[in-house]
Structures are given as structure tokens and as C-alpha cells.
Chain A
């Protein structure tokens, strides 16, 4: 039996009021209006080489400048720690800012100016002059494909491509219908609206209170402690609100270490907000080149799948993503060859960016499926159904649940897919060609070990704490719902605390695992609290003989299901027991046994309509339907927002986003929001989100699969396929800028 239903109902964000009144504090808002040192970085102008000399004298002469840190004068005592590896670092040696004279990428921080005001710091930063010894650099992935290598060490948390199966080349040669093409996705930059920033408050006694733009405060705490040789008790990281993360905040970035270094060296509080242009040299989604080859029988059954990907990484870390596995996850075949290689470039390390790997690989795979359908003269949706994978052939496991077929059906119905002409260029409206495209999305449902604490106070209010972050995903709200439902309290009587390293331990919020994991941990803590409440009540002679299953928690009280008259307010139990409060700790993590036998994924069926001006190549996405099967939906309102957000990212990847690299200079040039385009309001139509019912007790204790990434996964190929359907032109390189849509840009064969 269940308590009042809060989970699964649409609820407004509990942090809504704080966010619409400007009261929610983000990193740069801490110590606003208070005297605190402000820092500004200096970035390298070259991509590779070393610093011969730096002149900081004119910067130091600027009134208000306190110090200019460089590799020559940085505090030697600060750079402790043999390892800079943070919680999610890929194999390699992370960039150590100001470590030495080496330049590993353009824009690398090479100095930090600290001043009494931001303007003084920025002004002085422009006065630092640098003499470099340049070395030949490589930033052009296309020219370096020949150097691609299989990363010797697999990045923790990623699954390398499985061993080849069958004989792909022979199967392709024998297949009656084949398709082979290369595809590429440009490097993208996260560009969360909140800049990367760190505010370090030096407290009395020398302890540090750090506000860092991080998707998991414990990652910053652990890394800062390791680097600076500080005890955990001396470093508290508090980041209650994050102005968007999208992966860029998974790792603590150099601005954090530089701000802490300056604060320790100067024994003063320091704020470092990275200017927007510097964030274009901080993290990015790797540029990826791919080859996909498909072989099929005449009725569309795949006989061979080959998917090779080559992605750029830095010279110092092997950043890896799961790019090619999705193809075989979605479509079984007897002959499969998947590979993922890296090329070292003189750029900063890529970093996970919303659904790392998936929309890249799925763009290629789902475009290729569309092309195969074209060759087969088959409806693209029918081709997906013919090749639907009932089991996960990549890991040879069963799915915990997979309602993808229902998602296809519901999405197609809502979109009106049935009337779609097979041939391209069949729908025209004035100067515009209209096209309909579809694609499949998938993202792994994951859990990570999370701890949670719940405290009930004497007035019957509950406070829940987890050190994870709400990066805009709605974690505050869903945890409030979970605790409120479990304890039978109205949501207004539950307060959730996040983003504080003093709270129960949690990893970074990423990978769409937070709802499933933190949610289950809170649920577990609440169950333990209820057990303790029952124990206390029974000590006072109440509800004797009852077990938790016999009890209903509602309206701030617990009672036997069978007898409402037995209700005791929770606060009274505390009162009778002479306690001010009651605390319980919970924990949840992946079920190893289940993981051995099952694989678990969220799926989506994405349908898009585009209108393309035939002569001028202007593309408008005019409709999109996303039917999502992602287990249990905790809050349909915030869940829909997650999917919409992902869909908007899909529009950006499909049409707009590209970090444009000058390979002569080895420098990204469109490093601002005027020339690096993310979708604006005018680019986004209404997006229709459907949730497919999926009961899945195996994926996680709450049946949740996570929604942070699934919305982007199938959107770029759905849009690309719609552009083909409209125009008859297959664009295999993202973004689909005007020149590509018009065929005015040469694409390498």
C-alpha cells in the first residue's frame, strides 16, 4: 500500500521562488558587495611551446593590483599532491595551471592577476606581456587521422567497443544492400550561462569556504585537498545552485585551483569568474570523425554493422566517450565491428558534454539507417522496427525494460508520421521544402553510490541532505517529493539541502544518474527514519505489533492502514520520546547482481519536421515530438523540461554549434556567444514530449532511469534526416550550416 501520491505528479520547482526573485545564490553571487579580491587570468596566445619570459611589471604597477602569479612565482608549497586526478578525470596527467613554462594549448592559463577590483584585474591582465618559443602544433583532426590510436587505458565509467563479431567485411561484400559513408560532428563548447567561477572565502583560522562551479562539491573538496595538502576539515565546498553544468562542471577546472592558490598565498578571500572567452579554452565536446557501413538483406534485416570513430583529445589526457556502441545496442547483427580511437591534438582536454558520445554516434548511426532505408525503399521507422534489438548485444545482457517499440508507436502517432511520403522533396510550401525525419535515442541508465540523511524535527518538519547538485535538473524538487511521499508530509514541510561537502557523500551529478541514485538514497534514509519512529512509538506502547508495512504515513502522522484512529503525529513521537529531532542515514547504489545480468537504458523516438528554403538554405525546425521511455517519471513537469532542454541541444548540435579552429594559430576563434551560436528562442518550436510507461524495478529501486541526456540523443539525426527528406540532400557533417544545406561546401569523400 502506498502513502499519498506525490511522486509522479507534476510539481512546481521547490526552488522556483528563489530563482525568480534573484535570491538563489550562484558562485559569483557569494560575497557580492563585500570587499574581496578579484582575479583575472591571462591565457596563452600560442598552442604549443614554452614561455621564454613574462613581464608582469606594468600589471603590478596598476593601482589596486595585489599580485600577479605566474609559473615563476607561484607558491611552490601550494602545488602538493602527486596526483591531480579528480573523481572523473580520464587517464593522463591533468593540466596543472602555472606548473611550468610549457604551453599545451592555446588559451591555457599562464598568469593570474589578483586585484582589489575586477576592473583593475582585467586591465592589468591585458598588460602582461609574454615571449614564447613556439613549436609546431597540430589542431586539425582531419590532418592527423593517421595518428589515431586505441587508448591504452580505458577511462573509468566508459565501456570500450566490444570485440568484433563475425566477419564484417565479408558480410558487407555479400550483402544485397549496403550503405557506407563518413560522418562528422564539430567540436562544441558547453557554454552554460553561468561562467566558470570560484569564490574562495578564507575564514578565521585559515579554513577555506569554497564556492565552485562544480556538479559535485565532493570532487572539488577532494581535489583541492590533494593538490594543496589540506585536511578535509579545512576545506568546505558549498555550491547550492549551479547555473548549468552540462558536463563542464564535472571536473574542477583551473579557475578553482588558481583561486585557491591565490587565497592561500595572500591569505585573503578571492573571487575568480572566468571571462566568457576563456571558457572556450576550458572544456569542449570532441570533434569526431566517423565511418559507418551497413549491410542488409532486401527486407532490411541488418547483416553487418561497422562503425568507426576517431575523436580529438589533448596531448595530456585520453578523454574517452561511448560513441559507437549505441549502434549495436540498438540494432543486432551477426557481423559487427566497432572501434573508437583518439588523436592527440594541441588543444585542451575534451570534457563530457550532455550525453557524451551518444548524439555523436547516433547522428552517424541513425543517419546511416535513414540512408539504408532510402536504398531499401523502406519507411525509416519500419527499418528500425525490423531491426529492433530485444537484447543488448553489446554486453550480451537482457534489458531491464525497453519500451522503445511503444515509443516509436506513440511518437509516430502524435507526429502524424503515417502520411509521410517515402521520397524526398515531396512536400513543398511556397519557397520552402518540408521534410519529416525520425531517429532513435538511447542513454544508459546508471546508478552511483549516494548517501543521504533525513532529519525530522520536533515540529514535524523534515530536512534532507545529499551532497549532490541540482544543476537545473530539478533534484531539489524530486528529492522533496520522494521524502514527502515517504514520510507522509506535505512538500512544504520538507527542505532539501544539496551542494555542501558537509552533507552525506555523493558523486558528481552527471550521466543522468542523480534522480535514480540520490532519490533511492533519500528513500532509504526515510525508510530507516520511519523504522526508528516506529521503534520509538512502540517503546511508548503505541502501535504495538505493527510493522512498517502496516502503517500509513500521511498528513504528518503515522497510523495503521486499518485504523485511522491510531494516527500519531510524527512530532508527537519525538516529543513523547524527549527528542528534539530524529536523524536517519540512507544509502543506495548499483545492484551488482542485477548489473551482471541486465543492461538498462532510456530510449527515445524522435520525430522532427523541418522547413528549408530551397534556394537560400535557411532551415527551420518547426515541429518535434519526443516519445521517451525512461522508467518511472518522478515529476512530469520537470521531466518534460529535461527532455525539451535536450531537444534544444539537439537543435544546436544539428544546426548551429561549432567551435571554429584556426589551424595556423592553433586557436579557437569564435570564442564568444555572438559567433558561437547556441539556439535562441526564435529557433525553438513547441516540443511535444510523451512519456511511455515503463515499470522497471530492476533499473533502480525507484524504477527511475534518468532524463538529463536522453532528450539530445536522437534529436540531431532526426533533424538531419528531415533535412534530407525536405531537400534530397544528405548532410553528413554537423552543424548543418547554410552552405552545407545548399551543397556549397565541399565535404571530403
Chain B
């Protein structure tokens, strides 16, 4: 790791005051410390958020579930309020990483998790995300885990989080505090597509601190699933994952929300597909149509071509699971 100064601000305002482009907030450390060891992240200063109080609560008010930025993934997934009101979030979190990592990783940190692109991690290769302007060897290189949607000529990396896929489907809002005060950023606008600035993963400002995530009320109960397809049955990033929740009225879909992981630089959501499903009877034709809408414009890079077809099959299965109230278990590996 590059040498850095270390401080432990005791309030968000102090953390924000001490933050600049060359410094990093430290929460769980599972990604930041990892990247610092690879010399990919080189902060001059690390601001440890561990002493800040008030960011570790899960609360509910007016139907909105609020999860503090420093709530660990493990705590969020086990919290009675989360299980009661947004079990899809718990499903997604438990599909990711390991018990150890989930005990460390935080809600805020997970939102800022960086890509698993091989080239991003290997400082002996070029990477526009790591060092803008150097090129993207993943294009034409080893790109089995890369994006099929929303990629650009400068970057084809994917966002690796599971949690964020559920948050996107649930239309969560990221609450951030900055020098100018508090800002609420809808999930759909929080992560960016790479465009020609792949070094920017999110729309968060350099001096903004995530303080919480808020999820609006929606009672989908068991009509949800987080379906994750990966190279081994646990402890692997998603090749394709689908977070889906529906509510049914009179046997028809009243509301559907679908987000994909592992396919793009951000959790992938296509509102048109969700609108299309509204009012339809749950069934394979409707689900396949939704998949087509979601995957419109999908493009493979060679090794990852299969992801398009895999997603085309995973989306209807996830919708089937959601419609039938058979959420995918993270323990039972059989896919319902």
C-alpha cells in the first residue's frame, strides 16, 4: 500500500471536511484495502468512519425503510425490519460474498464496490478505469465476465455488487451528505454507465458521504427472488443475476420490478419492461417479452456472448419464481 495518513473523524461533518479527491473513506475495507494492496487505490489519506455514530441503525418511518451507511451487510440481511419489509434485499446480500466479508462490508461501501474486471485489478496492464486514457485490453481480451449492456468503447466492466441489484429493483434512494448539505440520489441515477469517463463509477461527489439508503414501501412479500448464476455454487461473482419482485391483483401483475446484475456497469433496469408487465397475467410469454425488452441492444464481447442468452433465460425464471412466490434460497442450490 502507498503510505497514507490515517484519521478517525467522529462526525459526518468532520469526515466531509477532511475529504478531498486524494482521500478515501474507510468503512468495511473489504474492497478499499483489497484495491490498495493491488496499488489500484492509492489514497493519500484514509478517513476511517468507524467512530461516527448514527450510521448503524435500521429504522422504518412512514413506510420507508432506512438503512444506515455503516450497517454491515450481515446485519442488514438479518435485521427484522429488512426481513419483514424488504426480504429481497436480504436475499441479494446473502447471495454475495461470504459470511466473513458480509460481517465487514457495509451498506455504503457496497454501493461503492468497484468492478472485478481483471485488467482494472492488474496494474501491469492498461485500463481506462484505473488510468484514464491508457486503453481497454478487456475489449478483445479475456472478457467472459464483462458487460453485455451499456458498455462503451473505453470500458466494458461490470458492477459486481449483489446488494445494489436488489436496491435498484426496489427503487432505493441513496442519501448522501456533502459540504452543501444532504442530497438524495435515486438508485437509477447513482451508478453511471462508463461512457468516456469509466473512472467514475457513480454520481457521488468527491466530498460526499453516503449516510443511508432508503427503500420506499412496497409489500411484495414472498413474490420476489434473487436469482444468481455463477461459476461455483457460492463465493463467486454473478455471471448474471436477476432481482425481481411482483405484486399480483386478481391474478394479474399489478407491479413488477426487475434489475439485472453482472451484465452492465450498473444494475440494469428497463422501466419499459416493468410497465409492459403491468396488467398482464404472469406467464412465459409475458416474461420472455420482458426479457427481450430488458436485453434490447445487448452486445457480447466474444467470451461473454453467452450471457445474453443466459440472461434471456434467467429473467423469465426469476419472474416465474417471483410470480409463484418461490424465492431462490441461497442455501438450497436447486433453482426453483
A740 to chain B: closest residue by CB: B306
B122 near A671: Cβ-Cβ < 8 Å: yes
CB-defined contacts of A119 to chain B, threshold 8 Å: 1
Chain A CB within 8 A of B113 CB = no
CB-defined contacts of A402 to chain B, threshold 8 Å: none
Chain B 208-252 interface mask (CB, 8 Å, partner A; 1/0): 000000000000000000000101111111010000000000000
Alpha-carbon distance A670/B314, docked complex (angstroms): 25
A746 to chain B: closest residue by CB: B305
B236 to chain A: closest residue by CB: A677
Among B3, B37, B122, B335, the residue within 8 A (CB) of A618 is B335
A677 near B232: Cβ-Cβ < 8 Å: yes
Alpha-carbon distance A662/B234, docked complex (angstroms): 26
Chain A CB within 8 A of B191 CB = no
A122 near B118: Cβ-Cβ < 8 Å: no
Q: Report which residue of B116, B231, B313, B333 has the largest number of chain A beta carbons within 10 angstroms of its beta carbon.
A: B231
Alpha-carbon distance A526/B277, docked complex (angstroms): 79
The stretch among A211-219, A505-513, A608-616, A724-732 that forms the contact with chain B is A608-616
B121 near A672: Cβ-Cβ < 8 Å: yes
Chain A CB within 8 A of B5 CB = no
Query: Whole-angstrom distance from the CB of A622 to the nearest CB of chain B?
Result: 9
Chain B CB within 8 A of A674 CB = yes
A616 near B314: Cβ-Cβ < 8 Å: yes
A665 near B137: Cβ-Cβ < 8 Å: yes
Given contacts A122-B1, A656-B231, A742-B309, contact A664 B125 (CB under 8 A): no
CB-defined contacts of B239 to chain A, threshold 8 Å: 738
B141 near A669: Cβ-Cβ < 8 Å: yes
Chain B CB within 8 A of A679 CB = yes
A616 near B335: Cβ-Cβ < 8 Å: yes
B304 to chain A: closest residue by CB: A739
B333 near A738: Cβ-Cβ < 8 Å: no
CB-defined contacts of A123 to chain B, threshold 8 Å: 1-3
A681 near B234: Cβ-Cβ < 8 Å: yes
CB-defined contacts of A672 to chain B, threshold 8 Å: 121
A656 to chain B: closest residue by CB: B232
CB-defined contacts of A664 to chain B, threshold 8 Å: 137, 140-141
B121 to chain A: closest residue by CB: A672
Chain A CB within 8 A of B317 CB = yes
Chain B CB within 8 A of A457 CB = no
Chain B CB within 8 A of A675 CB = yes
Chain B 23-39 interface mask (CB, 8 Å, partner A; 1/0): 00000000000000101
- Interface residues in B290-311 by Cβ distance below 8 A to A read 305-306, 309-310
CB-defined contacts of B268 to chain A, threshold 8 Å: none
B125 near A667: Cβ-Cβ < 8 Å: yes
Chain A 94-120 interface mask (CB, 8 Å, partner B; 1/0): 000000000000000000000000010
Among B123, B234, B306, B334, the residue within 8 A (CB) of A739 is B306
Chain B CB within 8 A of A92 CB = no
- Interface residues in A426-450 by Cβ distance below 8 A to B read 430-432
Given contacts A671-B122, A674-B116, A742-B309, contact A432 B317 (CB under 8 A): no
A674 near B123: Cβ-Cβ < 8 Å: no
Chain A CB within 8 A of B144 CB = yes
Alpha-carbon distance A738/B309, docked complex (angstroms): 11
A680 near B124: Cβ-Cβ < 8 Å: no
CB-defined contacts of B141 to chain A, threshold 8 Å: 662, 664-665, 669
Alpha-carbon distance A159/B231, docked complex (angstroms): 36
A618 near B229: Cβ-Cβ < 8 Å: yes
Query: Whole-angstrom distance from the CB of B233 to the nearest CB of chain A?
Result: 4
Chain B CB within 8 A of A136 CB = no
Among A45, A277, A661, A742, the residue within 8 A (CB) of B306 is A742
B118 near A680: Cβ-Cβ < 8 Å: no
- Interface residues in A635-659 by Cβ distance below 8 A to B read 655-656
Chain A 35-62 interface mask (CB, 8 Å, partner B; 1/0): 0000000010100000000000000000
- In this complex, how many residues of chain A approach chain B with their Cβ under 8 Å: the count is 43
Chain A CB within 8 A of B142 CB = yes
Alpha-carbon distance A43/B119, docked complex (angstroms): 15
CB-defined contacts of B164 to chain A, threshold 8 Å: none
Given contacts A123-B2, A662-B141, A665-B137, contact A677 B306 (CB under 8 A): no
Query: Whole-angstrom distance from the CB of B292 to the nearest CB of chain A?
Result: 16
Alpha-carbon distance A45/B140, docked complex (angstroms): 18
A662 near B116: Cβ-Cβ < 8 Å: no
Query: Whole-angstrom distance from the CB of B193 to the nearest CB of chain A?
Result: 23
Query: Whole-angstrom distance from the CB of A729 to the nearest CB of chain B?
Result: 14
Chain A CB within 8 A of B145 CB = yes
Chain A 673-686 interface mask (CB, 8 Å, partner B; 1/0): 01101011111000
A680 near B137: Cβ-Cβ < 8 Å: no
Given contacts A613-B335, A615-B317, contact A670 B142 (CB under 8 A): yes
B333 to chain A: closest residue by CB: A620
Among A431, A616, A737, A744, the residue within 8 A (CB) of B231 is A737
B310 near A744: Cβ-Cβ < 8 Å: yes
Query: Whole-angstrom distance from the CB of B200 to the nearest CB of chain A?
Result: 23
Chain A 589-630 interface mask (CB, 8 Å, partner B; 1/0): 000000000000000000000010101111010000000000
- Interface residues in B1-25 by Cβ distance below 8 A to A read 1-3
Chain B CB within 8 A of A382 CB = no
CB-defined contacts of B137 to chain A, threshold 8 Å: 662, 664-665
Alpha-carbon distance A122/B123, docked complex (angstroms): 13
Alpha-carbon distance A672/B39, docked complex (angstroms): 15
B237 near A674: Cβ-Cβ < 8 Å: yes
Chain B CB within 8 A of A660 CB = yes
B141 to chain A: closest residue by CB: A662
A682 near B233: Cβ-Cβ < 8 Å: yes
CB-defined contacts of B39 to chain A, threshold 8 Å: 126
CB-defined contacts of B3 to chain A, threshold 8 Å: 123
Query: Whole-angstrom distance from the CB of B78 to the nearest CB of chain A?
Result: 19
Chain B CB within 8 A of A745 CB = yes
Query: Whole-angstrom distance from the CB of A6 to the nearest CB of chain B?
Result: 39
Alpha-carbon distance A277/B229, docked complex (angstroms): 25
Among B232, B310, B333, the residue within 8 A (CB) of A742 is B310
Chain A 119-141 interface mask (CB, 8 Å, partner B; 1/0): 10011001000000000000000
B234 to chain A: closest residue by CB: A682
CB-defined contacts of A616 to chain B, threshold 8 Å: 229, 310, 313-314, 317, 335
Alpha-carbon distance A664/B142, docked complex (angstroms): 9
Alpha-carbon distance A402/B25, docked complex (angstroms): 64
CB-defined contacts of A662 to chain B, threshold 8 Å: 118, 137, 141-142
CB-defined contacts of A680 to chain B, threshold 8 Å: 232-236
Query: Whole-angstrom distance from the CB of B101 to the nearest CB of chain A?
Result: 11
Given contacts A123-B2, A683-B233, contact A620 B334 (CB under 8 A): yes
Query: Whole-angstrom distance from the CB of A608 to the nearest CB of chain B?
Result: 16
Given contacts A119-B1, A744-B306, contact A620 B121 (CB under 8 A): no
- Interface residues in B315-336 by Cβ distance below 8 A to A read 317, 333-336
CB-defined contacts of A744 to chain B, threshold 8 Å: 305-306, 309-310
B232 near A655: Cβ-Cβ < 8 Å: yes
- Interface residues in B142-179 by Cβ distance below 8 A to A read 142, 144-145
A675 near B116: Cβ-Cβ < 8 Å: yes
A683 near B232: Cβ-Cβ < 8 Å: yes
Query: Whole-angstrom distance from the CB of B273 to the nearest CB of chain A?
Result: 19
Assuming A430-B334, A680-B236, what are 19 further A-B pairs, CB within 8 angstroms? A43-B124, A123-B2, A431-B335, A431-B336, A616-B314, A656-B231, A664-B141, A665-B141, A672-B121, A674-B236, A677-B231, A681-B234, A682-B235, A683-B233, A739-B306, A742-B309, A742-B310, A744-B306, A744-B310
26 A-B residue pairings within 8 Å (CB atoms): A430-B336, A431-B317, A432-B335, A611-B334, A613-B335, A616-B229, A618-B335, A662-B118, A662-B137, A662-B141, A667-B125, A671-B118, A675-B118, A675-B145, A675-B237, A680-B235, A681-B234, A682-B233, A683-B232, A683-B233, A683-B234, A739-B310, A742-B306, A744-B305, A744-B309, A745-B306
Interface residues of B (CB under 8 A from A): 1-3, 37, 39, 116, 118-119, 121-125, 137, 140-142, 144-145, 229, 231-237, 239, 305-306, 309-310, 313-314, 317, 333-336
Return the 5 tightest CB-CB contacts between A and B, nearest first: A739-B306, A682-B234, A744-B306, A45-B124, A669-B118
